[in-house]
Amino acid sequence: MAATNELTNQMLALARLSPGDKVLDIGCGTGKAACRMAADFGAEVTGLSPSAQCVADATAKAKELSQQHLMQFQIGDGMAPDFPDNSFDCTWVMEPSHLMTDKSAMLKECARVLKPGGRLVLRDIMLDHPMSLQDAITYRDEFLLLKDVYGRGDLEPLTFYEEHCKANGLRVEHCRNITSETLRTFDCWRKNALAHKATVCDLIGEEAWQQFLDSCDVLQKFWLDKVLGYGIISACKPA
C-alpha cells in the first residue's frame, strides 16, 4: 500500500494538477486515484474502465467520500475513448496499458483528447528491452504462468512509450525506469498471501493461491534478470 501511494504521488507531481482541471483516467479501476485527484487537487475526473464492476465500485467510492460532483465513471475503451479533441488537461494511465493490445492507439488517443498545454502521465509494468524470439522460447513457461494468474499481457519497453509520445506530437518531460524501486513489491505480495492463506484459499482455492505465490517468484526473477521492469513517463502537448 505504501509503495502504491508513493508511485501515485510521483504521478501526481508529474501531472501538476490545478483546481478545475479535467482529467481522463484511463483504466480507472476502483477509483482510488481519481478520488485523490478530486480531493487533493479539486480536479474533475472522468474515469474509464471496461469493467462494469469497477465502474460501480468507483462510483460508490466517490459517493462515500462525497466527491461525486467532481467524478464520473463509465464503461469505455482506453484505445478508443469517445471524447472530442482537446477535452482534457490531463490523461492519466495507471497500469492498464500492459493489458491493451494496441498501445499505439491508446497513446494517439491520449494526445488527441489533450488540450494544448495538457499532460499525459503513465506508469506500468514493461519489458526491460525488446524481446527476441529466443527470449520468448526461454521464458515460455514463466510467461504462461503469469498469463494464468494475471491475464493476457502485451508488453513493450519504456522506449516504445517515449517514441510513440513523440510521434503523436507530445514533448516528453520525464521518462524513468523505476524497476529497482519496485522490486520489493513481490516480497510484500508473498508475505500478504502467506499471512492470509486461509481466507484466500476459501475464495479462489489452494491451487490458485499457490500459482500466485509462484508468480511472485517469477516476477522477482524477471525484475532481477532484467526481463521485465517498471517505468513512468510524462509528456506535454505543446500549447
Q: Let me know if 95 is a catalytic residue.
A: yes
Q: Which of 44, 64, 95, 163 is catalytic?
A: 95
Locate 26 and state its grid cell.
484511463
User: DSSP class of residue 98?
Assistant: G
Of the candidates 101, 44, 53, the one whose C-alpha atom is nearest the C-alpha of residue 77 is 101
What is the Cα 92 distance to its own chain's centre?
Answer: 9
What is the Cα 175 distance to its own chain's centre?
Answer: 15
104 vs 92: CA distance, rounded Å: 15
Q: Which residue in the block uniquely carries the three cell numbers 474515469?
A: 47
Max CA separation in the chain (angstroms): 55
Of the candidates 130, 223, 233, the one whose C-alpha atom is nearest the C-alpha of residue 176 is 233
29 vs 71: CA distance, rounded Å: 13
DSSP-assigned states of every residue in 151-217: ------BHHHHHHHHHHTT-EEEEEEE-HHHHTTHHHHHHHHHHHTHHHHHHHH-HHHHHHHHHHHH
- Catalytic annotation, residues: 95
